């Protein structure tokens, strides 16, 4: 198997990971200083969110120079040292690539916006202003997707922030420039890439009005030309790829990640993270999670590979969303870990997830810095929500929930910085922090360590087939992993009430060994007479079953 199938990934949001110079912003040296922590956890590769030069309108996802490190993080020399240090620890390095758009301060766009005759003009998407705004297309961040440029008397397209103009992937010169940049990073030792917003590269070329914005800018017909080119480049350079493909239909899964002809090695699909629908919080029921996750597991069981995640830099904290961040904080943090981690695919851990970090719940909208959060709040107010109701909604879904500083200890600013942190530390840091957990065998951190070791030493939990187990009610999510005569059953009670779990009749006489649990820590428990379990609130049990 490939290294990215056997290993566990860890996403680092550099701005919030570890500051070493007191400016309140994480840096490359801080990441390097924490390599022993990551090695102890047991991860096999790290994914670094953008560290490129950027004005930081969207926290680094607006890149002004693809081949420079933002000075707030360090420089290229420090980056090279960081890659070498990771490799010495046998940890591979994956970088975030933002290929749909650049910053409006990128030299390409500065030149493009200066004149219609500039050689870089067609690096972006322009429409003449003589008839006003070109069409009804809306930005994902809210408002029109078009911005007027006086120097050329044109509008340019930006499907995210105004300061993030979309690249024109129809232009071969754009693609060539991008490909050269990618190979430049590969030569610096990068082992893989996470591809941001990759499903948006193709735009509807008629530029007509649409009723559904996805028709204009998401997975548009013809995108396969660009993705195949990209895929070939990555394969030629022998690097791992994982695409952010929110909205990719299940019937296209093979195109994206087939082992033989897929564009990429893995994709992040987001059907299980649709927290916000039509101005209200979505229903995150267990039956819905079963349906969505099993659909993707089944589709990729035989050809392709899932990227497993419940947190990232754009999502609220899992314990505050799927779990219970008060009475059952410890139990739910561990339950959620085993529940998603042991499905078929490569597990990704987002920084702080291994500690059970929870949402920020800032009391004022002014405390949030995320541009999308403020746009969502403004849209809710315009839609008639009260300030209190609008705040309550964004508190639950804000991207800043994941971006609060890493909680290293119970000292000032959670040990993240000696200065003023760029974003306020979550108030619970005195209880939830790494120093409290790394030497505590019963901690969330060490539960993740155990999971990583269990997966790494158990072939069935890497390549075994996933099968959903039928369970009545809406509390338990149970599934099996089977490889040859090895079988494991993972049963998770994703609720605050006790629930019954019945082993299937054919399994009731089998010998069952409890190899991992978050309520019972004995790992030598054997039984062949259990037909029914009573799972406590947010209890998870992992059984090895003799299928002979």
HSE, side-chain direction, 13 A CA sphere, residue 24: 8
For residue 51, give the 3-state DSSP assignment.
Answer: coil
Helices (DSSP H) in 96-151: which residue ranges? 107-112
Residue with tokens 């990232």: 312
End-to-end Cα spacing for the chain: 27
Residue 254's alpha-carbon distances to 101, 260, 264, 271, 287, in angstroms, are: 26, 9, 10, 17, 25
Cα–Cα distances (Å) from 10 to 2, 3, 46, 124, 448, in that order, read 17, 14, 5, 33, 12
Long-range (24+ apart) CB contacts under 8 A made by 324-327 are 324/496, 324/537, 324/538, 325/358, 325/359, 327/496
The closest alpha carbon to 317, from 297, 302, 337, belongs to 337
Residue showing tokens 């609220």? 316
- Is residue 8 within 8 Å of residue 44, measured between CB atoms? yes
On the CB side of 216, how many CA atoms lie within 13 Å of its CA?
A: 19
Q: Which of 159, 180, 226, 201 is nearest to 66 (CA)?
A: 180
Q: Are 503 and 511 in contact (CB under 8 A)?
A: no
List the Cα angle 395/397/398 in 5-degree steps: 70
Q: Give the count of beta carbons closer than 10 Å to the beta carbon of residue 27.
A: 25
- Please, which residues bridge with residue 480 across strands? 467, 489
Q: In whole angstroms, what is the distance from residue 165 CA to residue 475 CA?
A: 45
Beta carbons within 10 angstroms of residue 487's beta carbon = 21
- Ramachandran category for residue 393: left, alpha or beta (phi over 0 → left; psi -120 to 50 → alpha): alpha
Q: What residues are annotated to the active site? A: 196, 244
Cα–Cα distance measured from residue 516 to residue 522, given in angstroms and rounded to the nearest whole number: 8
Q: How far is Cα 125 from Cα 200, in angstroms, rounded to an integer?
A: 13
Kindly give, in sequence order, each residue whose CB lies less than 8 Å from that of residue 412, ignoring residues fewer than 6 positions away: 418
Residue 479's alpha-carbon distances to 287, 339, 377, in angstroms, are: 13, 9, 39
Helix (H) or strand (E) holding 97: strand 92-98
């Amino acid at each position: 198997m490939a290294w990215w199938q056997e290993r566990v990934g860890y996403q680092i949001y550099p701005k919030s990971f570890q500051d070493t110079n007191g400016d309140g912003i994480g840096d490359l040296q801080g990441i390097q200083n924490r390599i022993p922590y990551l090695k102890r956890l047991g991860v096999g590769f790290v994914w670094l969110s953008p560290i490129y030069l950027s004005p930081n309108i969207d926290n680094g996802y607006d890149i002004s120079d693809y081949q420079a490190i933002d000075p707030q993080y360090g420089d290229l020399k420090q980056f090279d040292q960081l890659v070498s240090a990771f490799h010495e620890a046998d940890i591979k390095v994956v970088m975030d690539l933002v290929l749909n758009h650049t910053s409006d301060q990128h030299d390409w766009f500065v030149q493009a916006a200066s004149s219609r005759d500039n050689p870089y003009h067609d690096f972006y998407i322009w429409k003449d202003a003589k008839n006003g705004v070109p069409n009804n297309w809306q930005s994902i961040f809210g408002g029109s997707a078009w911005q007027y440029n006086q120097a050329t008397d044109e509008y340019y397209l930006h499907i995210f922030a105004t300061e993030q103009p979309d690249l024109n992937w129809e232009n071969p010169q754009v693609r060539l420039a991008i490909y050269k940049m990618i190979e430049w990073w590969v030569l610096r030792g990068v082992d893989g890439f996470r591809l941001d917003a990759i499903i948006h590269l193709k735009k509807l070329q008629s530029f007509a009005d649409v009723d559904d914005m996805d028709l204009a800018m998401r997975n548009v017909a013809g995108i396969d030309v660009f993705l195949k080119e990209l895929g070939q480049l990555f394969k030629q350079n022998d690097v791992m790829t994982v695409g952010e493909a929110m909205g990719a239909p299940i019937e296209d899964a093979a195109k994206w990640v087939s082992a033989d002809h897929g564009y990429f090695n893995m994709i992040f699909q987001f059907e299980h993270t649709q927290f916000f629908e039509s101005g209200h919080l979505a229903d995150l029921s267990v039956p819905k999670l079963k349906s969505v996750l099993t659909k993707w597991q089944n589709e990729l069981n035989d050809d392709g590979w899932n990227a497993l995640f419940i947190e990232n830099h754009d999502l609220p904290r899992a314990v505050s969303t799927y779990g219970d961040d008060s009475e059952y904080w410890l139990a739910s943090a561990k339950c959620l870990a085993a529940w998603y981690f042991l499905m078929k695919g490569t597990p990704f851990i987002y920084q702080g997830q291994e500690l059970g970090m929870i949402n920020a719940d800032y009391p004022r909208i002014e405390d949030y810095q995320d541009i999308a959060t403020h746009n969502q709040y403004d849209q809710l107010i315009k839609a008639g929500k009260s300030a209190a109701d609008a705040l309550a909604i964004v508190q639950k879904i804000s991207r800043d929930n994941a971006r609060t500083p890493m909680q290293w200890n119970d000292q000032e600013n959670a040990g993240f910085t000696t200065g003023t942190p760029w974003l306020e530390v979550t108030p619970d840091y005195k209880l939830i922090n790494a120093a409290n957990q790394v030497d505590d065998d019963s901690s969330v951190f060490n539960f993740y360590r155990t999971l990583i070791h269990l997966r790494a030493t158990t072939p069935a939990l890497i390549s075994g087939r996933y099968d959903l187990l039928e369970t009545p009610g809406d509390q338990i999510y149970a599934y099996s992993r089977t490889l040859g005569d090895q079988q494991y059953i993972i049963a998770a009670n994703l609720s605050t009430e006790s629930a019954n779990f019945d082993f299937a009749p054919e399994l009731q006489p089998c010998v069952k060994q409890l190899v991992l649990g978050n309520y019972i820590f004995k790992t030598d428990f054997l039984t062949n007479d259990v037909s029914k379990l009573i799972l406590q609130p947010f209890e998870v049990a992992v059984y090895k079953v003799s299928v002979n």
